[in-house]
Amino acid sequence: MENQNDTQKAIKSGKTVLGIEFGSTRIKAVLIGEDHKPIASGSYEWENKHENGVWTYSIEDVWTGLQESYRNLCKEVTEKYGSPLKTIGAIGFSGMMHGYMAFDKNGKLLAPFRTWRNTITGQAAEKLTDLFQFNIPQRWSIAHLYQAILNKEVHVKDLSHQTTLAGYVHWKLTGQKVMGIGEASGMFPIDSKTNDFDAGRIDQFNELLKAENISWKLRDILPKVLVAGEAAGSLTEEGAKLLDPTGGLKAGIPLCPPEGDAGTGMVATNSVAVRTGNVSAGTSVFAMIVLEKALSKLYPEIDMVTTPTGKPVAMVHSNNCTSDLNAWVGLFQEFTNAIGVEISQSRLFEMLYQKALTGDADAGGLLAYSYLSGEHITHMEEGRPLFVRTPESRFTLANFMRVNLFSSLGALKIGLDILFEQEKVKIDQILGHGGFFKTKEVGQRMMAAAMNVSVSVMETAGEGGAWGIALLASYMFNKAENEQFEAYLSDKVFAGEEGSTIAPDSADVAGFAAFMERYKKGLVIERAAVDGLR
């Protein structure tokens, strides 16, 4: 760690770097020192609202939240280091990906901000997926735009600029209509050879515009795509006042390209090089695998995005992970309370998770589905959590816990098998983060069994996306000539990082494979439960 004097000097001389991420429930600002470690932070809680059938955040909240999180960070800097924050080496903004922000030529917002959470673009997503032969999920910006066109929304004719939340904030602070490639990959398909929007698919979309008698072309309204390390403008006088209304912050600070939360998550877990990936496992679970080349064809189960340097990334997302497992632990907690045994919830979790390691490799023939909500990978539109066994199954506590841990990864595994078996994707290491990995060793061993690859958990995995975007800004500001981003992270940020790695155990891998055979066969039971229990 840097000592207090070094940190004070860095603050005074502008050697610090600021990252701010607009998450779904919190806006977080993180200031890092020259050793890339956080030295201060500030945050602001906010919530999306469901208004007129649309999930949205008010524009006023965007600016209140930005100013408050920055103000709280400045307060901590002054309290901790006795030095006010007047200048910063570089700044970066990150936000929830996708969604729809549409502006006219005067910069006026034409429709309420539509977030990634909306599922109102089904018709557009389906048509574009078919046209492009590329998976366009409902939350993508292009699906929102095309749905507005199909709905004959009057604002479409006045459209001059379309962006995302991170792109919007960056534009207002710098005057630059630009976007990091990872964030851009959630707006429209990217060509990783040119590191730009896919030109062929842009032409296809322009044909749709022509058919609708729309005068503008898609390129005219999309931001310019930039990769990690490129300059993305600097803080204007107006921008400095928007960020710091007290007038304490100087204009002229350079900004890195704004990025999406998927990209900053990859950076914060050092999962940006090819053949690496990260799995975030909690209420839901998603895996992001950095590919050596694009997939050979369209798979509706897999979203294609990119790293902040433009490498193709396959994303497999399952709606259900630990919610049903948590409910079972809650039941055991009720039992311990009923018999008058005092045990904390965290200790109970740890004990039950550890128990799973002593079960049969295949969980003793038990079967479970953790579907609290619908699961698109297995085509279930609603959730029905299930536990099923035959008279021959070995019904023990260890096997029960093991099957529920296995089930948390069942749908994810089906999506990953497309990558590993059909596309022959190779991967060297996965980095795990989220509640599933909280109990030492257990979640890692289960994930290693499911993926048949080493799973690591790092101490810094909890630092999050605000730290990730600060690292991207730091790279732009500090990189040596021709220094690659992947090398910068490995050599300068994560070198000597403490963490634990667990390699797959052959018995666990075989056991998980046997469980998955059962899981796939039993999907007819889940289907019947969805249809029969209305």
pLDDT digits (tens, 9 = 90+) for 351-377: 999 999 999 999 999 999 999 988 989
Surface-to-core class of residue 121, CB atoms within 10 Å of its CB (0-12 exposed, 13-18 middle, 19+ buried): buried
Q: What is the CA radius of gyration of the chain?
A: 24
- Lookup: tokens for 116: 């990634």
CB contact set of 50 (below 8 Å; sequence gap of 6+)? 56
CATH 3.30.420.40 fits 4-261, yes or no: yes
Q: Please check the confidence at residue 462 and state whether its pLDDT lies above 70.
A: no
Name the average pLDDT for the chain: 94
Report the C-alpha gap between 269 and 456 in whole angstroms. 10
pTM to 2 decimals? 0.88
Give Cα separations from 463 to 276, 279, 439 (angstroms): 19, 15, 18
Looking at the domain that runs over 270-463, which CATH code has it been given? Answer: 3.30.420.40
Ranges of each domain in the chain: 4-261, 270-463
CB atoms within 10 A of CB 495: 8
Cα end-to-end distance, the chain, whole Å: 57
Report the C-alpha gap between 505 and 511 in whole angstroms. 10
CB contact set of 58 (below 8 Å; sequence gap of 6+)? 49
Report the C-alpha gap between 269 and 160 in whole angstroms. 36
Specify the pLDDT at position 489. Answer: 95
Specify the pLDDT at position 123. Answer: 96
Residue 292, CA atoms < 13 Å, CB-side half-sphere:
9
- Lookup: tokens for 363: 């969980």
Give Cα separations from 419 to 49, 297, 503 (angstroms): 36, 11, 20
Q: Strands 196-197 and 285-290: what pairing?
A: unpaired
- DSSP letter for 387, please: E
Specify the pLDDT at position 1. Answer: 44
Specify the pLDDT at position 464. Answer: 81
- Closest C-alpha to 427, from 316, 308, 297: 316
Phi, psi of 108 (to 5 degrees): -90, 135
Report the C-alpha gap between 92 and 264 in whole angstroms. 10
Q: Please check the confidence at residue 488 and state whether its pLDDT lies above 90.
A: yes
Residue-wise pLDDT tens digits, 141-193: 999 999 999 999 999 999 999 999 999 999 999 999 999 999 999 999 999 99
**Quick one: average pLDDT of 109-137?**
94
Report the C-alpha gap between 397 and 395 in whole angstroms. 7
Q: What does the longest C-alpha to C-alpha distance in the chain come to? A: 73
∠ Cα 496 499 501 (to 5°): 120
Q: Please check the confidence at residue 493 and state whether its pLDDT lies above 70.
A: yes
- Domains 4-261 and 270-463 alike in fold: yes
Specify the pLDDT at position 226. Answer: 98
CB contact set of 336 (below 8 Å; sequence gap of 6+)? 342, 343, 348
Tell the residue number behind the tokens 């070198």, with chain if given.
495
- Closest C-alpha to 245, from 92, 78, 95, 63: 63
DSSP codes, 167-202 = HHHHHHHHS--EEEHHHHTTTS-EETTTTEE-HHHH
- DSSP letter for 374, please: -
Q: Please check the confidence at residue 196 and state whether its pLDDT lies above 80.
A: yes
Tell the residue number behind the tokens 């549409």, with chain if given.
102
Residue-wise pLDDT tens digits, 24-62: 889 999 999 999 999 999 999 999 999 999 999 999 999
Specify the pLDDT at position 260. Answer: 95
| Bridge partners, residue 276, by sequence | 429
Q: Where are the alpha helices (DSSP H) in 244-340?
A: 261-268, 323-338
Specify the pLDDT at position 190. Answer: 96
Cβ atoms 172, 181 nearer than 8 A: no
CB contact set of 308 (below 8 Å; sequence gap of 6+)? 180, 181, 182, 227, 228, 257, 259, 263, 266, 267, 272, 472, 485
The residue ranking higher by pLDDT, 400 or 9, is: 400
DSSP codes, 20-53 = EEE-SSEEEEEEE-TTS-EEEEEEEE---EEETT
Amino acid at 36: H
Chain centroid to Cα 40, Å, comes to: 23
Specify the pLDDT at position 65. Answer: 97
Confidence band for 284, pLDDT divided at 50, 70 and 90: confident
Which letter, b or e, does each residue of 3-19 get, where b requires 16 or more Cβ atoms within 10 Å of its Cβ? eeeebbebbeebbbbbb
Confidence band for 528, pLDDT divided at 50, 70 and 90: very high
Report the C-alpha gap between 35 and 205 in whole angstroms. 45
Report the C-alpha gap between 57 and 112 in whole angstroms. 8
Report the C-alpha gap between 238 and 417 in whole angstroms. 50
